[in-house]
Amino acid sequence: MSKSKQDGTKPELEVSADEAGERLDKLLAAKLGSRSKAKTALEKGRVFLNDKEASLTDAGYAIKKGDRIRLWLDRPGSAKMTTNRGPHRSGLWIIYEDEDLLVINKPAGLLVHPLDDEEGGSTLVDMVEDYLRPKGKREPRLVHRIDRDTSGLVVFAKNGKTQELLKDQFKQRKPERVYWAVVHGIVKPTEGTWEDWLSENKKSVKQQLARAKDKNAKQAISKYKVLEQFRDAAVLEVRLVTGKRNQIRIQAGSRGYPLVGERQYVYGEAKESSVPDFERQALHALRLVIEHPRSGKALAFEAPLPEDINELLQRLRRDNRR
């Protein structure tokens, strides 16, 4: 059995020679007592492999002698939360709700907030307003946004003070914001940091690459790693350091890895590809960790991958293997 060190509440396992080659999830199951507990630990960000947070995509990793596996079973915010597993009768998929805030899993195709140049059509703000009205809360207070065709987590405040405190967290880059993206190409290196400067083109109302000295330029930083590499596509985990509009789409596209389904931020000539067509950019806001503005406790939220991205991944795994 692995030798265990105690580091506060974070026991560390040192892999022995006889355990080398074993799957990570199998080793965790032996340590935690069951496969379901191992799966939950990976889902909730409670496992660290060689000082990097592991996830379900690492379950099949073949352990090497000398690997360090750290368990943080009481990680703040990783406890099970009260959630609704599917859409509420209002049409909203509510991930979390309390007296101060509301976390929604937004479907692709739904605009978060009305655009100045568009009229009509329901938005996420409208739906949240309809949901809150019977509870005596008439005005939803948006904390941050994601694109119309991006799915995943969006946070609303129920009062002005909560909105102010949460917006301040985002301004200070405190929240952990993790996206999954499916992109074209073979991504090299397999992990790293993207750093750019972006500005808004007033004529097209689109973001564009800029120079640092441009007066309207704002810094955009993302950390990425390849989770799965196919012949003509890859699945990326992208962690936002900054959160500029269209940031991931621009940064991936400008490096020759446009998102599958991307229509706007494609640079250069399109290459021949066996990747199936996709109706939107394959981008999902998967995970968000914030501090609760009242209690200060860390809250971790996750939105499961939507059906269309799951189907895309199944097709890539079947037809686009390297």
Catalytic residue among 25, 147, 149, 196: 147
Q: 76: cis peptide before it, omega within 30°?
A: no
Q: Is 196 a catalytic residue?
A: no
282 and 252 in contact (C-beta within 8 Å)?
Answer: no
Nearest to 298 by CA among 44, 39, 36: 44
Going by the DSSP 8-state scheme, the letter that residue 2 receives in this structure is -
Written as one letter, the residue type at 65 is K
How big is the CA angle at 51 (ends 47 and 55), to the nearest 5 degrees?
Answer: 35
Beta-carbon count within 10 A of 113 CB: 12
Beta-carbon count within 10 A of 143 CB: 22
Beta-carbon count within 10 A of 236 CB: 25
Distance CA 77, CA 84 (A): 17
Looking at the annotation, which residues are catalytic? 147
